[in-house]
Amino acid sequence: MTPEHRLALIRLLILLFVITLVVLIFVYRDRVSELASYGYAGVFLIAMISNATVLLPMPSVMVVFAMGAIFNPWLTAIFAGLGAAVGELSGYLLGFSGQGLAERSETLVRVSDWMVLNRKFSGLAILVMAAIPNPFFDLAGIAAGTLKIPVWRFLLSCAVGSIIKMMAFAFAGNQSIHWISHP
């Protein structure tokens, strides 16, 4: 088997894995909220599963909001942010495995071009995009995988940005309990 065929096979297997993962998460989405009973590990798992869905919104921030009212909001944000970063690897892997398909998407080409122009600051760009609540972060992950941005840089930037975003929701949930109990 030539190296090109081996790479194509690896990309196909990764693509099939990501598609299977997204379908399973979407099918069992109602059971995901039950993981909250496992404390911080549950928060991590919910964030990871919610962010592993590519282009199908499953907002983990609502769970983080609620768990921030129950648990320590700092730890809730950290566990949720780390889980979100690990979950976002599905978009990164999709971009890596489907480079030929990704090159045909006009929106993805724009995101990729912007990241190429700012390759030196691609980590900062990923961090900022992860920190802003938006359903389109998957495009940044796909672009990062397509551009072969080092996975460690993607994960680190995504984790820091996601922790910042989750911190806002965890503290908002924490403060909402005070507003309700002390009108």
Residue pLDDT, tens place only, 154-164: 999 999 999 99
Helices (H) and strands (E) in the chain, counts: 11, 0
Least confidently predicted of 8-12, 27-31, 94-98:
27-31
For the chain, domain boundaries: 3-181
Q: What pLDDT, on a 0 to 100 scale, did the predictor assign at position 109?
A: 60
Q: What pLDDT, on a 0 to 100 scale, did the predictor assign at position 110?
A: 63
pTM: 0.75
pLDDT confidence band for 179 (50 / 70 / 90): low
- Is the pLDDT at 52 greater than 90? The verdict is no
Q: What pLDDT, on a 0 to 100 scale, did the predictor assign at position 144?
A: 86
Please give the average per-residue pLDDT across 18-44, as a whole number: 69
Sort 36 into a burial class: Cβ within 10 Å, 0-12 / 13-18 / 19+: middle
Centroid of chain to Cα 47: 8
Q: Which residue carries 């992950």 as its tokens?
A: 141
pLDDT tens per residue across span 112-165: 565 555 566 678 888 988 999 887 788 888 888 888 889 999 999 999 999 999
* Rounded CA separation 80/179 (Å): 24
pLDDT confidence band for 44 (50 / 70 / 90): very high
Q: What pLDDT, on a 0 to 100 scale, did the predictor assign at position 157?
A: 94
Q: What pLDDT, on a 0 to 100 scale, did the predictor assign at position 121?
A: 67
